[in-house]
Amino acid sequence: MKQKAPEAIAQVPHSFCQGCAQGIVNRLIGEIMEEMGAADRLVVTTDVACGAMNVEVWKYDTIVGAHGRPIPAATGVKKVRKDVLSVAHLGDGAAYNIGLAETMHGALRDDDVLVLVLNNGVFAMTGGQTSATTLLGQRTASSVHGRKAEVEGRPFHVEEVLGKMDIAYLARCSVDSVPAIRTAKKYIKKAFEKHQRGEGFCLVEILTPCPTNWGLSAVDSMERIRREVIPQYPLGEFIDRGGND
Ligand SMILES: Cc1ncc(C[n+]2csc(CCOP(=O)(O)OP(=O)(O)O)c2C)c(N)n1
Ligand code: SF4
Ligand SMILES: [Mg+2]
């Protein structure tokens, strides 16, 4: 049965590549907003990377932050408008490369913001260069023989860095299959509910494919997430402060 798309996602032509998962994440956010009756209270601050193309489809109030700075921008939104839900929506490059200091300080202050990191393991928007989460051995536009720890450094794991901090929520999910998408929705919704209650810094990392820069088909990209990415980036909830859901 074909389900109706969330009202807040405009059914218009968009600029995403075939097989991109930005649309899956949009669908989950849209469904959650409808379930919470909160679509008109959502402000999304996205990054200048691939996520910025969402301005064509999101009917939410939207800000495009400077590269790597959606987290402090979204925190500022929440500080002056307590009545809204304020989401920072950004990629792995934004959250863990150029914006790592902002991610760290947001977590150290336990800022009242919900962070969604779409981790596709590359700088997709700029042509698929190595990012913080590119796997060792993975070929990218800037590591053509495969990432080497001694050249590009080791991959970044958010749970190793934020996993012992006093923050409200930290989880990683994936969109590689229907069961995975259901779990992703559960984690993202829990983070939204915590954010609505003002519990503090919430970060959900979502493993997403980038068929274009991975040089794979849409189907093979999902298979790669299962075969190569998840074994290195385990799924689950790392912090659930208070444990209330
Ligand atoms: C200050 C600054 N540095 C670099 C860039 C170029 N730039 C734009 S997006 C991007 C990386 C995007 O990677 P990621 O955050 O992982 O998002 P994705 O495109 O993969 O979704 C870079 C380096 C920029 N726009 N501004
Ligand atoms: S380059 Fe990758 S992340 Fe960007 S729209 Fe295309 S598939 Fe999606
Ligand atoms: Mg990326």
CATH number of the 22-240 domain: 3.40.50.970
State how far Cα 154 lies from the chain centre. Answer: 21
Contact 225, 174 (CB under 8 A): yes
| Burial of residue 33, with CB atoms counted within 10 A of its CB: 0-12 exposed, 13-18 middle, 19 or more buried | buried
pLDDT at position 1, please? Answer: 60
Element (H, E) at 78: helix 70-80
Dmax (CA) of the chain? 51
pLDDT at position 243, please? Answer: 83
Could you tell which of 17, 123, 133, 206 is best to mutate to test the pocket of ligand 1, judged by most ligand atoms within 8 Å of the CB? 123
CA-nearest residue for atom 5, ligand 1, is: 67
The rounded Å distance from CA 121 to ligand 3 centre is 5
pLDDT at position 245, please? Answer: 47
Residues near ligand 2 (Cβ within 6 A): 16-17, 20, 22, 50, 120, 124, 210-213
Report yes or no on whether pTM surpasses 0.85: yes
Query: What whole-number distance in Å separates Cα of residue 32 and Cα of residue 26?
Result: 10
Query: What whole-number distance in Å separates Cα of residue 58 and Cα of residue 63?
Result: 11
Q: Which residue, chain included where needed, has tokens 């379930």?
A: 35
pLDDT at position 231, please? Answer: 98
pLDDT at position 244, please? Answer: 52
DSSP string, 217-234: -HHHHHHHIIIIIHHHS-
The rounded Å distance from CA 194 to ligand 3 centre is 26
Query: What whole-number distance in Å separates Cα of residue 57 and Cα of residue 203?
Result: 23
Q: Which residue, chain included where needed, has tokens 């800037």?
A: 142
- pLDDT by position in tens, the chain (length 245): 667 889 999 999 999 999 999 999 999 999 999 999 999 999 999 999 999 999 999 999 999 999 999 999 999 999 999 999 999 999 999 999 999 999 999 999 999 999 999 999 999 999 999 999 999 999 999 999 999 999 999 999 999 999 999 999 999 999 999 999 999 999 999 999 999 999 999 999 999 999 999 999 999 999 999 999 999 999 999 999 988 54
- Ligand 1: which atom is nearest the Cα of residue 47? 15
